[in-house]
Structure 1
Amino acid sequence: MGEYQHNLDAKGRLIIPAKFREQIGSELVLTRGMEGCIFGYPLVEWAKIEAKLAKLSLTKKNARSFTRMFYSGAMEGEFDKQGRINISPTLKEHAGLKKECVIVGVSTRIEIWAKERWDDYSEEANESYDDIAESLDDIEL
């Protein structure tokens, strides 16, 4: 959990905060996320995602389309000694990453956002936060 800001360097590498690296381990899988961000999963969590996706029916067009996009954008990455990870051009384009990035911890994954997109998303979601919470019938905090 948490929100951190870091910049992409000239080689397209992004520092992942030490707090997240401790929980992720030495490698993670990055792929296309929702709302124009990148999802990052520790390998253990990625295996669980793969198991769920394997159960989707190949006869369903939406299932085929989703899995193609989800897997085609996926890349396995290792952290360098400075805690940076390379982000592929495909994923940078998907998320609109140029320089300023926001890394957010969300349950068992991280999300990487272009700062402008995160600011827009966050502002909109914050305005309807109470309404969103009320519409979720299956949680009690």
Structure 2
Amino acid sequence: MFMGEFQHNIDTKGRIIVPSKFRDELGENFVVTRGLDKCLFAYPMDEWRNLELKLKKLPLTKKDARAFTRFFFSGAVECEVDKQGRINLPQPLRNYAVLEKECVVIGVSDRIEIWAIDKWEDYFNESEESFAEIAENLMDFDI
């Protein structure tokens, strides 16, 4: 399980350090793709395969299913951590998540997320204000 929040910079070549706490869980190779809320999602290969199987079950006849599947898979790249603990994020993914310098890498149960620090702070502040309401809405799911 991934959890925690770490700040790292992305360099001019698009490389970012993967927190050492996450490296073992991610494995040698893992997948990074466009996430929701203008961040990137990174999945260990076994989680990626599980997600892929679920997305394959979506009906091709549903417009939303086709759109989400295209969005998710077209941005996906397989990554490998280098000897310095970094991964190289392609320019299209950096553009999508507006990753320029300061970033936040967070653990979110079965995945990690990579955020531009300003986007994360905005998201966190907005969510923090409505956290009680969000929690109340999730009570229906036995949380």
TM-score by length of 2: 0.96
Which residue number corresponds to residue 66 of structure 1? 68
What is the identity, as a one-letter code, of the residue corresponding to 1:84? R
Q: Paired residues, what number?
A: 140
What is the identity, as a one-letter code, of the residue corresponding to 1:92? R
Work out whether 1:139 is the aligned partner of 2:112.
no
Work out whether 1:95 is the aligned partner of 2:97.
yes
Which residue number corresponds to residue 52 of structure 2? 50
What is the identity, as a one-letter code, of the residue corresponding to 1:11? K
The root-mean-square deviation of aligned C-alpha atoms, in Å, is 0.7
1:66-87: CA deviations, max 9, x gaps? 1111111000010000110010
**Match runs of 1:1-141 below 5 Å:** 1-136=3-138, 137-140=140-143
What is the identity, as a one-letter code, of the residue corresponding to 1:118? W
Q: Aligned partners of 1:134 and 1:3: how far apart in 2?
A: 24
Identical aligned pairs, as a percentage?
57
Secondary structure, counterpart of 2:104 in structure 1: strand
* 4+ residue runs over 3 A deviation: none
Gaps of 5+ in 2: none
Q: Aligned partners of 2:20 and 2:8: how far apart in 1?
A: 12
Q: Aligned partners of 2:84 and 2:137: how far apart in 1?
A: 42
Q: Aligned partners of 1:139 and 1:100: how far apart in 2?
A: 36
Gaps of 5+ in 1: none
What is the identity, as a one-letter code, of the residue corresponding to 1:138? F
Secondary structure, counterpart of 2:16 in structure 1: strand
